[in-house]
Structure 1
Amino acid sequence: MSRTSSFITPRTFPVPDDEQERLKSLAGYGIVGGPPLPDLPSVVELAAYVCGVPNAVVNIISASQQLQMAAFGFEASACAREDSMCAISIVEPETVVVRDATQDPRFADNPFVTGEINKVRFYASSQLRDSDGHVLGTLCVFDTEPHELTEGQREGLDKLAKMVLDVLELHRHSQLLEQALDKVHRTSRELQRSNSSLQHFAGQVSHDLKNPLTGVLGFVALLADIPAVAADPDGKRCVDRALSSATRMWRMIEDVLAHASLGGRPSFAEVNLESVARNVVEDVSTAIAAAQAHVEVGPLPRVVGDATQLRVLIQNMVSNSLKFRDRGRECRISLTAEESPRGWTLSIADNGIGIPVQDRPKVLEMFTRLSTDIEGSGIGLATCQRIVEAHGASLVIDETPGGGTTMRITLPKPADQVALALVS
């Protein structure tokens, strides 16, 4: 309680130099105004026993009050900070031990000593100091009779003060864990809602894309049956390619929709990487011809992965090489693979304009475009990075000898990817 009036000069209390940081740290523990901490009563009882006194208390010093978080020998309560003995102790450089408080100028006129609140004589307090050095309060022991502490008792009091801080830290981390779990639960609910919307969208896409594509496939099939087309080698080749591309597009839509309905999780299976790469080259053949590029697909292995995602990965890489070709020389792109202890490394190398070393991390970020002169959205390589991460793989951007860019994707060995699929 406070005793300020027009007739009584209000008491003052020392303020630590780090007061604002100290109060901010104290707020982070969430103990002021909170429920009692169940582990503290045992610690204060042990402190009284170790020091051979009848009273012990954990005092927390807030901006305006002394809050007794746990007490032994009396009922815990609160008082004004200006009445607190521990408000003085928190600015001291070390543990305070006072045989007779009436003889100590720091405490002689304190209401806990004068009899206004209590008649404390012996008093000792060890600071509760956080990891940054801010003093939150004290572990205090006292008696109404003068008393001494042995060196062992003083050390015991200091150790128990550290134990009190451990209890406070445990409480703080428990609160942080509860907050994190609450956030996870809220995120999970949002993901469930998002996945539900995604499934609805997938059904709409199925209707909007598959139906017209069915018509395209039907008309191309009819075209293939026309005798004049069947008799013309060039016409038959064009129709066959159109039918093949449309069929692959149909399958890709099916895969993408299945992928969406699973909530975006990759579906791992054995994938013939060379077959995927050759299909990509065929699908972008128009762009390859327009760029007068030469694309070479070397022997590529069978890997474990999501076929749809790996197809998107390779197609984005090849399309990027075509887009950022060096207009001053023939565009050349090669797809090769090499086995290593970590798995298979797929290299997609071109002789284009290259990517400066300092910009290589940036190009993997969403909506990043290094050149505004070349059409693009800035999401292609960011998509590749997400696919790489989903496969537990790694992506490294190197320079091609002689100039250009080499993308190296290292896919883990099948056993590692199967393990990844099980936890996805």
Structure 2
Amino acid sequence: MTTSTRDRAFPVPADEQERLRSLAEYGIVGAPELPDLPSVVALAAYVCGVPNAVVNIIGATQQHQLGAYGFEGGACAREDSMCAISMVEPEMVVVRDATLDPRFEQNPFVTGEINHVRFYASAQLRDRDGHVLGALCVFDQKPHDLTPQQREGLDKLARMVMDVIDLHRHSRLLEQALDQVHRTGRELQRSNASLQHFAGQVSHDLKNPLTGVLGFVAMLADVPAVAADPIAKRSVDKALSSATRMWRMIEDVLSHASVGGRPSFTDVSLDSVAHQVVDDLATSIAAARATVEIEPLPTVHGDVTQLRVLIQNLVSNAVKFRDPGRPCRIRLTGEETPAGWTLSIADNGIGIPAEDRPRVLEMFTRLNTDVEGSGIGLATCQRIVEAHDAALVIDETPGGGTTMRITLPKPFDRLSLVPLG
């Protein structure tokens, strides 16, 4: 079909900008023809008993014809479009003879400049928000009428056209989502490779000075004066134990990074891990004049390195965020529940407001900037919890403070393992 351009005004809907944004989201203008559209358009011509039918999509300046039946579709200026006029009407437009209708009598599709349309009918194509994207149009070169049944059929077919267009939009969104997943996967692989390299480098850099510390402490242990002094010997033994445990943790972190952050599950005595953590934090606990009470804790199924980091971060936080107006008390308890094992770490510190509790688990979040920290500790705890298919709940301790509850599933309850990293 030929095109024509002229400086003629066309009606603009009140929601024009929203309508054009919706049309852009559908992505049908300029896209390959929608495969199901020609069949629906042909059915419209058959139902209405006319030789021509088409889906006219009205853009900002042009009309785009999709799925044309009875002629070759194309594009024309919006001011030449009959559907650009009918799209602002409140209901379906049916015109027996367009030469007798003042809305269309001077239109180039009617006057012969483009075509000799006489009969014209169109049903609007509305998106789910009510914006009119165009119309399903049927026409003939001779006058014609539609029965009520034909009008109803044309209206139903217009809704079917929108179903086809919606399906295309959802397919586009799905393709975009899949593309994003693939790109995210590639970025994650690159990020994991960088993380593994970084962890390896950091582990190597930490080992060098730690090797010196281990050697020096081991040498002290062999000094006769130290061996003869119970207090000195106990201090050296504790330092040697802590340094050895740190060495093992560095080895575990390096191994953890080298396998892509996947937890290594085994039976873990939380009681033993908790006491080790308290020993490692003995200096800071003593400086805060804190009291740490450890009730008998269960043996659970998990990654010993990650669970040690989890408990250490939570106990360390309880010490750091103590209430200066009263002695710091921290209590670790455990119980078996139908869902698994629950570890509770309760303190009587300054507490966390209820509205801030979800946010403190995010990376680099610091509610109290007066206390030294990086805002990484609780985010790390959250990742460890996710890696164990566990649940972390932040509650208020009766009387004030924070209680952290971690529920670890039993092995037969574990449905999936989420890699940490």
TM-score by length of 1: 0.92
Is 1:14–1:88's contact at 8 Å kept on the other side of the alignment? yes
Query: Equivalent residue for 2:4?
Result: 2
Report the Cα distance in structure 2 between the residues aligned to 1:270 and 1:26, rounded to whole angstroms.
Answer: 58
Query: Equivalent residue for 1:373?
Result: 370
- 2:111 paired residue among 114, 120, 124: 114
Query: Counterpart of 1:199 in 2: which secondary structure?
Result: helix
Shift of 1:421: 4.9
Cα gap change, 1:44 to 1:380, in 2 (>3 Å): same
C-alpha deviations, 1:289-314, integer Å up to 9, x for none? Answer: 22222111112112222222221111
Shift of 1:288: 1.4
Shift of 1:422: 8.7
Report the Cα distance in structure 1 between the residues aligned to 2:84 and 2:355, rounded to whole angstroms.
Answer: 55
- 1:140 paired residue among 137, 146, 160: 137
Report the Cα distance in structure 1 between the residues aligned to 2:191 and 2:100, rounded to whole angstroms.
Answer: 71
C-alpha deviations, 1:217-253, integer Å up to 9, x for none? Answer: 2333333334443333223222221221111111111
- 2:249 paired residue among 237, 241, 252: 252
Shift of 1:16: 0.8
Query: Equivalent residue for 2:196?
Result: 199
Paired residues for 1:30-49 under 5 Å: 30-49=27-46
C-alpha deviations, 1:57-80, integer Å up to 9, x for none? Answer: 011111111111111111111111
Query: Which letter maps to 2:343?
Result: L
Is 1:67–1:78's contact at 8 Å kept on the other side of the alignment? yes
Query: Equivalent residue for 2:149?
Result: 152
Query: Equivalent residue for 2:412?
Result: 415
Shift of 1:52: 1.7
Any gaps of 5 or more consecutive residues in structure 1? 5-9
Shift of 1:357: 3.0
Q: Does 1:172 align with 2:169?
A: yes
Cα gap change, 1:185 to 1:211, in 2 (>3 Å): same
Report the Cα distance in structure 1 between the residues aligned to 2:372 and 2:266, rounded to whole angstroms.
Answer: 35
Cα gap change, 1:280 to 1:165, in 2 (>3 Å): same
Q: Which moved more, 1:320-329 or 1:250-259?
A: 320-329
Is 1:267–1:305's contact at 8 Å kept on the other side of the alignment? yes
Any gaps of 5 or more consecutive residues in structure 2? none
Q: Which moved more, 1:410-419 or 1:72-81?
A: 410-419
Report the Cα distance in structure 1 between the residues aligned to 2:22 and 2:259, rounded to whole angstroms.
Answer: 44
Cα gap change, 1:18 to 1:49, in 2 (>3 Å): same
Paired residues for 1:23-62 under 5 Å: 23-62=20-59
Residues paired across the two proteins, number: 419
Is 2:389–2:416's contact at 8 Å kept on the other side of the alignment? no
- Tell me the C-alpha RMSD between the 2 structures: 2.2
Q: Does 1:70 align with 2:67?
A: yes
Query: Equivalent residue for 1:237?
Result: 234
TM-score by length of 2: 0.93
Report the Cα distance in structure 1 between the residues aligned to 2:27 and 2:237, rounded to whole angstroms.
Answer: 71
Q: Does 1:96 align with 2:93?
A: yes
Q: Does 1:349 align with 2:351?
A: no
Is 1:195–1:261's contact at 8 Å kept on the other side of the alignment? no
Q: Does 1:329 align with 2:331?
A: no
Is 2:261–2:419's contact at 8 Å kept on the other side of the alignment? no
Aligned-pair identity in percent equals 79
Shift of 1:12: 2.1
Report the Cα distance in structure 2 between the residues aligned to 1:83 and 1:331, rounded to whole angstroms.
Answer: 81
C-alpha deviations, 1:72-118, integer Å up to 9, x for none? Answer: 11111111111111111110111112222222222222221222222
- 1:398 paired residue among 378, 395, 403: 395
Is 2:210–2:243's contact at 8 Å kept on the other side of the alignment? yes
Report the Cα distance in structure 2 between the residues aligned to 1:385 and 1:197, rounded to whole angstroms.
Answer: 22
